[in-house]
Amino acid sequence: MVNLAGMTDHTLLKPQATEKDIVALCHEAQQHKFATVCVNPMYVQTAAKLLYGTGIGVAAVIGFPLGATFTEIKVQEIFMVKAHGGKEVDMVINIGWVKSGHWEAVEQDIVQVVEAAHGCSLLIKVIIETSLLTEDEKKTVAEIVKRAGADYIKTSTGFAGGGATVLDVHNLKEWVGENVKVKASGGIRTREFALELVEAGAERLGTSSVLV
């Protein structure tokens, strides 16, 4: 039987999330033994303190949700996440550069952020926002993520009007190969859909729903 909880980043990224909400998120993560909680950077320290010694990691989003900030700022966010006790980061690519065909800039952005994360011993997931990209763009970005040596390629932020699909997960896994894992995120609200995504190749799930 698939252990969905152990594959899930229990997520709360709403702008109106309060500290009380983060405390509740961490309690749920302990209750269900999720892989991590995924929060906005300002709540990393709170979550890290609450989850210390539990074996549950703390992930933070970087350049979120648009990806349109300076690479140097994304790198600085990684340093701050590390300093506050985070273990993983989920970084949004510069989607506008992808749509403009600025592939060298896209690659440099991803490479520098991946190098910064690994330099801090943080696991990094690269969010490509599949709902905004063409199939050719998805494939090209996947190849860049693979070359950059990221730990995961992630489908979606959940903020762009679209989320994970079985087809996208299958294709991404095919494109990145065995050395990069796939995280499916956005619109995962049922155990049945989560299992379909896992069957398609997802090895991590991001959801604000409790699927166990």
Does 113 fall in a domain? yes
For residue 193, the domain's CATH number is 3.20.20.70
Q: Given a cut of 60, is residue 212 above it in pLDDT?
A: no
pLDDT at 95: 98
The SS3 call for residue 170 is helix
Tell me the pLDDT tens digit for each residue of 17-62. 999 999 999 999 999 999 999 999 999 999 999 999 999 999 999 9
Tell me the pLDDT tens digit for each residue of 142-156. 999 999 999 999 999
Tell me the pLDDT tens digit for each residue of 105-136. 999 999 999 999 999 999 999 999 999 999 99
Task: Count up the domains in the chain and report the number.
Answer: 1
The SS3 call for residue 66 is coil
Structural domain for 119, as ranges: 5-207
pLDDT at 89: 98
Does 212 fall in a domain? no
Contact by Cβ (8 Å): 133, 103: no
Alpha helices in the chain (DSSP H): 19-32, 44-51, 71-83, 95-100, 103-119, 135-148, 166-176, 191-200
Closest by CA position to 40, among listed 92, 101, 4, 100: 92
DSSP structure class, residue 132: G
Q: Given a cut of 90, is residue 211 above it in pLDDT?
A: no
Q: Which two tokens stand for residue 96?
A: 């506008």
| Residues known to be catalytic | 90, 154, 183
Does 105 fall in a domain? yes
